[in-house]
Structure 1
Amino acid sequence: MSQHNQFGQPVGVALPDWQPRQHPQRVTLEGRLCRLEPLGMQHADALFAAYQLAEDTRAWTWLLREPDRDVEGYRAWVQSIVELQDPIHFAVVDKQTGQPVGTLALMRIDSKNGVIEVGHVHFSPLLSRTPMSTEAQWLLMRYAFDTLGYRRYEWKCNSLNAPSRRAALRMGFQYEGQFRQALVIKGHNRDTDWFSIIDSEWPEVDRAMQKWLAAENFGPDGKQRTSLESWRQPKN
């Protein structure tokens, strides 16, 4: 409940014990299906090869970058971002094959206020629409909330990117609204949709994800028995 100051004005809930949070580190995060490793040059060739498995370049439409023409170009991009403090890129490594199959990043890191965003999500055909892709997202969420103690975890996407919107809602993010004419990307206007999970919502999101990711939730054919949305309590 919002509190009031001496003038009777609402000033929000008091947070007397709040302290700035630690900046994320280049850590390795272990899951059942995949492992997140700090993106490095050792991943570049295998990642480029994984992205080349796509039938076309539609997965690049919503990314800020154009497709790399060759492996040298992708290596150069990896080299340009591996030492950045924001964003911090991670490679998603398939634990069954030991090969990297996609990347994602923590970005727009505001440790003073405990706010962080997941972005630069680029999953190859070996990762997209698999349980491993959900686990990769969950590992990064768990690091932000449980290890670092952040209060807010954001997801933003082009308003026209329907798959990204569906993914955010499926994982439990709450839609917050649209920033109109937020960016100019590749010569086109971009309206940006904002989604978030806050710390009070995280325990339910976490429980649902753990139940969905459990081995017993998948049949011999690898298909889910119960959807991720079904594991969350219905909203009133």
Structure 2
Amino acid sequence: MMQGILVDLTPLSKEYIDVIRNWRNSPDVYRYLFSHYFITPEQQQSWYENLLRDKSKLYMMVIEKKDMKPVGLVWLNNIDNLHRTAEWGFFMGSKEGRNAGYAVEAEYLLIKYAFEYLNLHRLYGHVFTFNKKVISMHKRFGFQLEGILREHVYHEGEYKNVAVVGLLKQEYFAQQPVYKKMIDMFRKSSTFTE
């Protein structure tokens, strides 16, 4: 578990699979995901069982601390222990979880986990280019825009461009003063009391 000020990251467990399925079936969420088909309970169960067997993936729930409710999901895919790289991603599933600072803190906690606990050398991710808010957030964390995959995903009736972003371990450590400012901002603005 990774503990934050506003949210904690906790390992994905079976109790959350229906919550995730409902989020993924919501137009507010699947609009930003590369796979956007309706997910049945059986498909979600199969996904979860496959996830348990696949050691190259790590999924964690984003739990809002004040009410202890799930608000999102973060993950590492394609964890490569030889090259020390992983692809990462996230989504905030609950409406309450959006625009409340939860995504920013969840991103920080997952990056910290990847570099400080898994000792990865590089994280990378893929984001639709129309999702400028998330690309901007990644850049605040030091991610570099590494390229554009033109018309890479067929989505909502047309081909969409995808941005590739990446962050190296040394860039993560160089960004520590920026992260500290963000964390201090959370402490000052949080109404959560321990």
What is the TM-score normalised by the length of structure 2?
0.80
CA distance in 2, matches of 1:44, 1:202: 31
Question: In 2 relative to 1, CA 127–78 (structure 1 residues): closer, same or farther, beyond 3 Å?
Answer: farther
CA distance in 2, matches of 1:175, 1:58: 25
Residue in structure 2 matched with residue 39 of structure 1 by the alignment: 12
* Contact residue 117 and residue 153 of structure 1 kept, 8 A: yes
* Contact residue 63 and residue 120 of structure 1 kept, 8 A: no
Provide structure 2 residue ranges, at least 5 long, that are not aligned to the other structure.
none
Residues 157-195 of structure 1: per-residue CA shift (max 9 Å, x gap): 122332332222233211121122434456532332111
Written as runs of structure 1 = structure 2, the 5 A alignment for 1:1-236 is 28-47=1-20, 51=23, 57-66=27-36, 68=38, 72=41, 75-76=44-45, 79-83=48-52, 84-185=54-155, 188-214=158-184, 215-218=186-189
Residues 196-230 of structure 1: per-residue CA shift (max 9 Å, x gap): 1112211232332232122444277x9xxxxxxxx
Question: In 2 relative to 1, CA 35–204 (structure 1 residues): closer, same or farther, beyond 3 Å?
Answer: same
What count of residue pairs does the alignment treat as equivalent? 190
Question: In 2 relative to 1, CA 101–139 (structure 1 residues): closer, same or farther, beyond 3 Å?
Answer: same
Matched letter for residue 76 of structure 1:
Q
CA distance in 2, matches of 1:66, 1:204: 36
Higher RCO structure (Cα 8 Å, ≥6 apart): 2
What is the TM-score normalised by the length of structure 1?
0.67
- Say which structure is richer in helix: 2
Q: Indicate the RMSD between aligned Cα atoms, in angstroms.
A: 3.0
Provide structure 1 residue ranges, at least 5 long, that are not aligned to the other structure.
1-27, 223-236
Residues 133-157 of structure 1: per-residue CA shift (max 9 Å, x gap): 2111111111111122211111211
- Quick one: percent identity of the two aligned structures? 20
Question: In 2 relative to 1, CA 48–97 (structure 1 residues): closer, same or farther, beyond 3 Å?
Answer: farther
Residues 38-94 of structure 1: per-residue CA shift (max 9 Å, x gap): 212112344566x49xxx713311213336577x36853653454132332111111
Larger C-alpha radius of gyration, 1 or 2? 1
